[in-house]
Amino acid sequence: MPSKKRSTSTDVAKLAGVSRTTVSFVLNDVLGVSISDVTRKRVLDAARELDYHPNVAGKKLVSGKSYTIGLVLCQSPEQIFTDAFLPQVMLGVEQAAIQHGFHVLLKPIDPNEAGGYASLIRENHVDGILLSGPRQDDTALVRLYEEGVPIMLMGQLPDTAIPFVDVDATAGAQAAVSHLISLGHLRIGMITNAPLTYTSAQQRRTGYRQALLAARLPFDESLIQEGNYTPSSGFEAMSELLEISPRVTAVFVASDVVAMGALLAIKRAGLRVPQDMAVAGFDDIPLAEYFDPPLTTVHLPAYGLGWAAGERLIRLIRGEGLNEHSLLLESKLIARQSSFIA
């Protein structure tokens, strides 16, 4: 292997016949220093000829900045596997980072052992942390925030002052359930997307409840079944729900993936969608439009979520303030044939 040594700014200086300081001034376009055009050109030519790329370790050491953000995923592996939402979010984060010259360090952690990401910041690996799916009991996170570490959440953490970006899942869920109500359904079941320890599950449940209350319909806890990201959990939950008498005529499933399992359970029971059972999902995964029947669902701006979160974290890192402390992105109801016949 040839593998020539990487060239340093000293090499460039030597070739250009100037000091290393001058090289730094030229290459970084430092304001307030004057360099003659001829010298500037000599430096640039030398840099090009040597294929010079500044070593980030050196920059990092002297500046104390790493120009890297840590994207910490608290989802369980099970969730990551089935989550069609995540890639879009990550892409959004990445684009925001690139636009500001930042890199993204990926760090999925086991949600049960919180705080595994602290070393990222303490060892100066990253300048700030973007946390997806924060756990309620994550005290290490709050401590980090109070130390002044730039942190941005995707998803909310009640009772803390940590800024976040989130989709307005509550409003979205309410819209979905209101939609079902407007179609004449009076007895509507719900299947959660995840155990209720997750705030995302709670928000959606709250939306369900609000829609019922707004229509003066009774809120019956026994009509709620718990899912856990997977289609199979949806199948189980729906099967349970079908046992209840009098039967529900519609169901709000707080995740498209889980809804897929629910649909199968409904079909197995010999019922038709939407005639015998209307179904509304949540997330608007790319496949939802191709479900059988096409799934009424709530579209979440996944890409926008990632982008906004990344953008705002970087602003925090730079010490620029945020004009609003936190951000709720709008979701949008997409009515398809699983809830009514066109």
Which neighbouring-strand residues pair with 250?
188, 278
Distance CA 118, CA 120 (A): 5
74 binds a second copy (CB under 8 A): no
Give whichever of 20 and 60 is closer to a second copy, judged by the CB atom.
Answer: 60
C-alpha angle 227-195-291 in degrees, rounded to nearest 5: 30
CB–CB of 303/96 below 8 Å? no
Q: Which of residues 33-62 bind DNA (CB under 7 A)?
A: 33-36, 38-39, 52, 54-55, 57-59, 61-62
Which neighbouring-strand residues pair with 298?
333
Give whichever of 17 and 87 is closer to DNA, judged by the CB atom.
Answer: 17
Using the contact rule CB under 8 A, the part of the chain among 30-38, 171-179, 287-295, 316-324 near a second copy is 287-295
Q: In angstroms, what is the minimal distance from the CB of 56 to DNA? A: 8
119 binds DNA (CB under 7 A): no
87 binds a second copy (CB under 8 A): yes
105 binds a second copy (CB under 8 A): yes
107 binds a second copy (CB under 8 A): yes
27 binds a second copy (CB under 8 A): no
Which listed option, DNA, a second copy, none, makes contact with residue 28 (CB within 5 to 8 Å by class)? Answer: DNA
Member of 31, 36, 38, 51 binding a second copy (CB under 8 A): 51
Contact pattern from residue 128 through residue 147 relative to a second copy, giving x for each residue in contact according to CB under 8 A and a dash for the rest: ------------------xx
Q: In angstroms, what is the minimal distance from the CB of 257 to a second copy? A: 7
Q: What is the dihedral of CA 10, 14, 15, 16, to 10 degrees?
A: 100
Q: In angstroms, what is the minimal distance from the CB of 29 to DNA? A: 10
118 binds DNA (CB under 7 A): no
* β-pair type (332-334, 297-299): antiparallel
List interacting residues with DNA (CB under 7 A).
6, 8-10, 17-22, 24-25, 27-28, 30, 33-36, 38-39, 52, 54-55, 57-59, 61-64
